[in-house]
Amino acid sequence: MKAQTLGRVLLGGFMVTAGVLHLTTQREEFRAQVPDWFPVDEDLTVLGSGVVEIGLGAAFVALPRHRRTIGMLLAAFFVAIFPGNIAQYVEGTDAFGLDTARARLTRLFFQPVLVLWALWGGGLLGRRSREGSTPSS
């Protein structure tokens, strides 16, 4: 298995797992991360984002021919939720062991890694993306 394919499968699996946790055992932790200023009900936000994560993650793994589009959608999703991560840092919200300002700040630097991972896994970064990639890779 090529590294890029493995990366795509791992990120897809991570997203499905995170989505399931949004809907089940970690629902309260995710609710705590919804910023006060967000105009949608906390529970609805968590449920909706969980469903989106499951869908995008499963599609990233199961639909390799559409990996470029799904990679772009995943990257956009990570960008869209970044304000919530910033709010968690600014508001000092504890969740998932992020109980210090330093831990919450460190997390902010991981979000761009997820964006790049989605783009790379989707075949949108690197030499292959410039030369074109085959649907089966």
Domain span including residue 64: 3-124
Chain position carrying tokens 């508001």 = 91
Residue 130's pLDDT is 47
Question: 136 in a domain, yes or no?
Answer: no
Residue 128's pLDDT is 53
Residue 127's pLDDT is 66
Question: 43 in a domain, yes or no?
Answer: yes
Question: 34 in a domain, yes or no?
Answer: yes
For each of the chain's 137 residues, which pLDDT tens digit applies?
899 999 999 999 999 999 999 999 999 989 988 988 999 999 999 999 999 999 999 999 999 999 999 999 999 999 999 998 998 899 888 888 888 999 999 999 999 999 999 999 999 997 654 445 445 44
Question: 135 in a domain, yes or no?
Answer: no
What's the number of domains the chain is made of? 1
Question: 22 in a domain, yes or no?
Answer: yes
Question: 137 in a domain, yes or no?
Answer: no
How would you class 88 by CB atoms within 10 Å of its CB: exposed for 0-12, middle for 13-18, buried for 19 or more? buried
Proportion of the chain in helix, strand, coil states, percent, rounded to 5: 75, 0, 25
Question: 130 in a domain, yes or no?
Answer: no
